[in-house]
Amino acid sequence: MRKPILCLDFDGVLHSYSSGWKGADVIPDPPTDGMVAFLDKAVEVFDVQIFSSRTHQPGGVEAMKAFIWDALGNHFDCSFAGDPRGLERALAIRDAISYPTEKPPAMVSIDDRALCFTGNWSDFDPKRLKEFQPWNKSKSPGSTISVSRNATLIRRIRMALTLIFAPARTGAA
């Protein structure tokens, strides 16, 4: 039986997006807290699909894939000395996530710039909607915003080395 589709936005949902837009293939900020732990559980229940404004721009999908892989590798400790089951789980999650080129027919979506329609337009006052701010634009942003850029760079280098030397059976690419 096919799993229902969970559509995930990228910037402000998976990517903490504190630096603002730097280009479709530039993803400068860390993952949001708990992102990989959520994906780990979500792929068991849903067909997880990531759809973003980056999707249709050159290098956007590749950059999102690299970002997710980097986060998976960090979470599951895919280093040489790590438990090989960590690498296997990271690869399984990576391979379970897709990046559709059109907005998917999702059962439910998670987006940082959307409100849930309840069937009642009186819930929405256009003037108040104009004041909408996503969570990471508020005056007290979450702890993920302060994660060191150097730590992110070190993780990416470590993941690149792991991918270069990963066993062929993993199919890592």
b (16+ CB within 10 A) / e for 132-162: eeeebeeeeeeebbeeeeeebeebbebbeeb
Stretch that binds Mg ion, among 11-19, 35-43, 119-127, 144-152 (CB under 5 A): 11-19
Radius of gyration of the chain (CA): 17
Stretch that binds Mg ion, among 99-107, 112-120, 142-150, 151-159 (CB under 5 A): 112-120
Nearer CB in complex with Mg ion: 14/72: 14
Q: Which of 5, 6, 8, 11 binds Mg ion (CB under 5 A)?
A: 11
Q: Which residues have C-beta within 8 Å of that of residue 4, sequence separation ≥ 6?
A: 46, 47, 106, 107, 108
Distance in Å, CB of 94 to Mg ion, minimum: 21
Instruction: Say whether residue 60 binds Mg ion (CB under 5 A).
Output: no
Distance in Å, CB of 105 to Mg ion, minimum: 20
Nearer CB in complex with Mg ion: 107/114: 114
Q: Which of 5, 6, 8, 9 binds Mg ion (CB under 5 A)?
A: 9
Which single residue is written with the structure tokens 């229902």? 4
The CA-CA-CA angle for residues 70, 112, 15, to 5°, reads 15
Instruction: Say whether residue 12 binds Mg ion (CB under 5 A).
Output: yes
Cβ atoms of 90 and 76 within 8 Å: the answer is yes
User: In terms of Cα–Cα distance, which of 2, 1, 29 is closest to 10?
Assistant: 29
Distance in Å, CB of 82 to Mg ion, minimum: 32
Instruction: Say whether residue 70 binds Mg ion (CB under 5 A).
Output: no
- In which region does residue 127 sit, left (phi positive, over 0), alpha (psi from -120 to 50) or beta (all else)? alpha
Q: What residue is closest to Mg ion based on CB? A: 12
| Length of the chain in terms of residues written | 173
Nearer CB in complex with Mg ion: 70/112: 112
Chain residues in the site for Mg ion (CB under 5 A): 9, 11-12, 112
